[in-house]
Chains A and B, each alone.
Chain A
Amino acid sequence: MIRPDAELLLQIVDLHARVEDQPILKGVNLEIRSGEIHAVMGRNGSGKSTLSKVLAGHPSYRVTGGTVHFRGENLLDLDPEQRARIGVFLGFQYPVEIPGVSNLEFLRVATNARRLERGEEELDTFAFEDLVTERLKVVQMDPAFLERSVNEGFSGGEKKRNEILQMALLEPVVAILDETDSGLDIDALRIVAGGVNHLASADNATLLITHYQRLLDVITPDFVHVMAAGRILRTGGKELALELEERGYDWVDAELAAIEGAEAPRTPMEVA
């Protein structure tokens, strides 16, 4: 849902980031307003997963330039846990298994951390069980998964459902879903996408990181961004995703080469 007067939730300006000494993001610009669903598409290695991790504050990624503001606040100044508490959520491409830590306890601690930040009361075990039972329906998840260790022995689909369950409990303002569709069969994809659609509202925004069009068949984006070589190359509506599906990513390479050629007319390769 696009409303030009909606609140600007996330503003990314000329973002540069490295992992180890490798520059990955090379000037990302993106604005996300309340009520919008954005999709970032691109090949493996284009930087789209890095973008999601930088926004969530992964310690292995170093921001070397640019700014990110969340509701006017400098997001890059905050620890990962604080970003989560104020409403930035990252749905992991590969949710981490944590043996020995009860999923239920984990969900409760996480939910309470967010509630405290919002000025709400912490939920005790009983109140939380009521809440989680209700939210389980969003992802049609078996309550038995609450009793297990976090993600341990979960199938790929179960892990992704657990991610969306966390999203349902934390009620983020900006949800970044990194390749949530990967590893899902078509039924699981429908359930996960159904959960995302259910949670999307006029008061929040969703950023989908995806490789394939098929997720966008079930979640309709307002904006599609094509990422390549660490920057957003082109932005369009949902038809851009269809175009990618039809034409593949080769034209992106051509466009990129043209840009980089214009920026650096003499690359060392050409000289050699």
Chain B
Amino acid sequence: MALASETNAPVVSPVAAWSERLLGQLPEPSGDLAAVQRRGRSALELLPLPRRHQEDWRFTDLSALTALTPSWSETSGEVPADLPAVAAGTLRLWLDGRGDPLAGVALPPGLAPLSSAELGQALGHTLAAVGCEHHWPVEFNHATAGRCLALRVSGRETIRLELVSAASGREAVLPLRLLLLVEEKAELELTQVLLGSGASLTSVVLEAHLGRKARLHHGLVALGEAPACLLAHLAVEQEPESRYQLTSASRGWALSRLEPRISQVSGAAHTQLEGLQLAQEHQVADTHTWMRFDGPDGTLDQLHKAIADGHGRSVFNGAVRVPRAAQRTNAAQLSRNLLLSNLARIDTKPELEIVADDVRCAHGATVSRLQLDELFYLQSRGIGADLAARLLKRGFCAEVLQALPAAASVWRPLDRLLQEGSPLLAPEQRP
């Protein structure tokens, strides 16, 4: 039905206009990313916005994105004063998608920016390795991002880094390009906080390369407020014996699309993915994960949770590729969903492609209401039905949130995730 209406409507011109309008406003390509920007802009001119007839976007209503009028403006570059105090031992960088986040910042030992030459060599490598360099959201980021935060992590000390950004109607488009090289045996705890409000679009493209025995614990807390939209591609390459853990939580965006794409380049690494998304009101929350084992003995442990309430729509697609080379892969994927309204919708789909014969790949999906027995148990202890439901929702979310890096706790993710209103305001300041 949606297809028919899209086909009948004069789609080409508004979509072209959507990109063209923005492209006309962007500053001239310059700096390290000039060539990438030029390529991205050429690509956007030819590439239509994703459409529902594309398999990857089948369940994802993009009207929130097309309703935005993308525009470009410079920002003041000022860091808001009301951010919570950063956790001890953690370096906070403020990203506004324009200025240099490292300006005036002393980096701790073990953390260093890449040179232009190194950046030129590494940029785009991981995107290509996980096959998403021509995805529309990636090309959009190519076209708009004028800067890449590119860091090398080395040494034996765990580096704790927090990256914060906030898009508002003023920024309208906030492109974030990140490149992380985590060297052999190095460890990084990355907490990425994405705030979005107003008619804005946050575009994230992150590439991370994990050397042998490297560890990256990646927390992503994405707190939006419709009509703000979020598109994020997280591309990761893992060398053997490395460990990548992504813990993500999102809520509130009119549309959020999260695409973690991971390749274990020679297998024998460990990948752990924990995701939580909330879709309320008319929000669309979409996570498409893609995992490929390009060698034997790799492991994946994945839990994706979603709550859909109101008219919200939650989409999860979990692709796992196990080619012939990936013998003795051990992968487990579980999608658990709470459907709290008759008007909400949940689409969840594992997508396993297994060629190797000696593998263990488990997957499962559940969609349920709040459990009657759990509610009754709480009620039978004098806890009112509303509070009981809230406790159960908190419990459902806590399982994922407790896996976030410790530095994320200053953001009080559980409180912020479960409450209405502006994500920028601290909970205690709310009426």
Residues of A whose CB lies within 8 Å of any CB of B are 56-60, 79-81, 83-85, 89-90, 92, 95-96, 98-101, 106, 109-110, 113-114, 117, 149, 166, 170
For A100, give its contact among B376, B377, B394 (CB under 8 Å).
B394
Determine the main DSSP class of B at the interface with A.
helix
Kindly identify, within residues 352 to 408 of chain B, every residue whose CB is under 8 Å from any CB belonging to chain A.
371-374, 376-385, 387-388, 391-392, 394-399
29 A-B interface contacts by CB (under 8 A) = A56-B380, A79-B379, A79-B384, A81-B380, A81-B382, A81-B383, A81-B385, A84-B380, A84-B382, A89-B380, A92-B380, A96-B371, A96-B376, A98-B378, A98-B391, A99-B395, A99-B396, A99-B398, A99-B399, A100-B396, A100-B397, A100-B399, A101-B391, A106-B383, A110-B381, A110-B383, A113-B381, A113-B383, A113-B384
Kindly identify, within residues 72 to 102 of chain B, every residue whose CB is under 8 Å from any CB belonging to chain A.
none
**Complex Cα gap A58–B371 (Å):** 13
Closest A-B pairs by Cβ, 6 of them = A100-B395, A113-B382, A100-B398, A110-B381, A84-B382, A96-B377
Residue with the highest number of chain A CB atoms closer than 10 Å, among B377, B384, B391, B399: B377
* Residues on the B chain within 8 Å of A110, using CB: 378, 381-383
Q: Are B374 and A84 in contact (CB under 8 A)?
A: no
How near does chain B come to A174, taking the closest CB pair, in angstroms?
13
* Residues on the B chain within 8 Å of A58, using CB: 376
Q: Are A106 and B382 in contact (CB under 8 A)?
A: no
How near does chain A come to B322, taking the closest CB pair, in angstroms?
30
Total A-B pairs in contact (CB under 8 Å)?
Answer: 81
How near does chain B come to A80, taking the closest CB pair, in angstroms?
4
Contact A109 to B387, CB < 8 A, known contacts A99-B395, A100-B399: yes
Q: Are B374 and A81 in contact (CB under 8 A)?
A: no
How near does chain B come to A64, taking the closest CB pair, in angstroms?
20
**Complex Cα gap A58–B375 (Å):** 10
**Complex Cα gap A49–B374 (Å):** 17
How near does chain B come to A227, taking the closest CB pair, in angstroms?
21
Q: Are B387 and A80 in contact (CB under 8 A)?
A: no
**Complex Cα gap A57–B376 (Å):** 8
Nearest chain B residue, comparing its CB with the CB of A149: B395
Contact A84 to B377, CB < 8 A, known contacts A98-B395, A100-B398: no
* Residues on the A chain within 8 Å of B381, using CB: 81, 84, 106, 109-110, 113, 166, 170
* Residues on the A chain within 8 Å of B382, using CB: 81, 84-85, 110, 113-114, 117, 170
Q: Are A98 and B377 in contact (CB under 8 A)?
A: yes
How near does chain B come to A115, taking the closest CB pair, in angstroms?
9
* Residues on the A chain within 8 Å of B388, using CB: 81
Contact A57 to B380, CB < 8 A, known contacts A96-B374, A98-B392, A101-B395: yes
Nearest chain B residue, comparing its CB with the CB of A91: B380
> Contacts A59-B372, A90-B380, A110-B378 given; 6 further ones with Cβ under 8 A?
A100-B397, A101-B394, A101-B395, A106-B383, A113-B382, A166-B381
Kindly identify, within residues 175 to 192 of chain B, every residue whose CB is under 8 Å from any CB belonging to chain A.
none
Q: Are A101 and B392 in contact (CB under 8 A)?
A: yes
* Residues on the B chain within 8 Å of A90, using CB: 380
For A59, give its contact among B374, B376, B383, B392 (CB under 8 Å).
B376
**Complex Cα gap A198–B251 (Å):** 49
Nearest chain A residue, comparing its CB with the CB of B373: A96
**Complex Cα gap A110–B387 (Å):** 11
Q: Are B376 and A80 in contact (CB under 8 A)?
A: yes
Contact A84 to B399, CB < 8 A, known contacts A59-B372, A60-B372: no
For A92, give its contact among B377, B395, B398 (CB under 8 Å).
B377
* Residues on the A chain within 8 Å of B391, using CB: 98, 101, 106, 109
How near does chain B come to A179, taking the closest CB pair, in angstroms?
15
How near does chain A come to B425, taking the closest CB pair, in angstroms?
24
**Complex Cα gap A38–B394 (Å):** 39
How near does chain A come to B377, taking the closest CB pair, in angstroms?
4
* Residues on the A chain within 8 Å of B397, using CB: 100
Indicate with 1 or 0, residue by residue over B104-136, a CB within 8 angstroms of chain A CB atoms: 000000000000000000000000000000000
For B379, give its contact among A81, A89, A101 (CB under 8 Å).
A81
Q: Are A84 and B379 in contact (CB under 8 A)?
A: yes
**Complex Cα gap A56–B381 (Å):** 10
How near does chain B come to A81, taking the closest CB pair, in angstroms?
4
* Residues on the B chain within 8 Å of A59, using CB: 372, 376
* Residues on the A chain within 8 Å of B392, using CB: 98, 101
* Residues on the B chain within 8 Å of A117, using CB: 382
* Residues on the B chain within 8 Å of A96, using CB: 371, 373-374, 376-377
**Complex Cα gap A96–B371 (Å):** 10
